[in-house]
Amino acid sequence: MTVVIRNAAPGDEVAILAFIKELAAYEKLAHEVVATEMMLRKSLFGDAPKVFTLIAETGGVPCGFALYFYNYSTFLGQHGLYLEDLYVREDHRGAGIGKALLAQLAQIARENNCGRMEWWVLDWNEPAIAFYKSLDAEAMDDWTVFRLAGDALKDLAAQAAGKS
């Protein structure tokens, strides 16, 4: 089976949204997906996109994707590549597609002088954790992720606008 990794192009938002929904279902988070094809089209292919996607294909059919963007490390003084989502359809797992996507991302990071590549994984996802460790990826167990969203984000932003 030959795997082709390519940059996403307009028209791929249908497949990308399907991948996002499949990933969310696997992660038991399907209820949180509010993205639409139009939103993805604007984010990925609009003016000055800030997020990018690779598509993995076998036989011309999409079977996986990686969605990423750039962040910045003040400690390194360099950009980094942040992998938001990596997903390979279940019937294609174990064929090296996830590794091929990560290898392409590593190449993109090197070409763009990134000091590192990072991503999150749910702590119960043992197959993914084992896979990442097999690539010598380091778990960042000393760090805790925080998030502001919804009303909490709105309320804090209102303080900056003097509306608290």
Active site residues: 132
Cα dihedral 42/47/53/57 (nearest 10):
80
Task: Find tokens 């996507």 and name the residue.
Answer: 101
Return the half-sphere exposure (C-beta side, CA atoms, 13 A cut-off) of residue 72.
Answer: 2
Provide the β-strand partners of residue 53: 67
Q: How many Cβ atoms sit within 10 Å of the Cβ of residue 15?
A: 19
SS3 call for 31 = helix
Where in 39-142 does DSSP place strands (E)? 52-58, 61-73, 78-88, 117-119
Are the beta carbons of 86 and 53 closer than 8 angstroms?
no
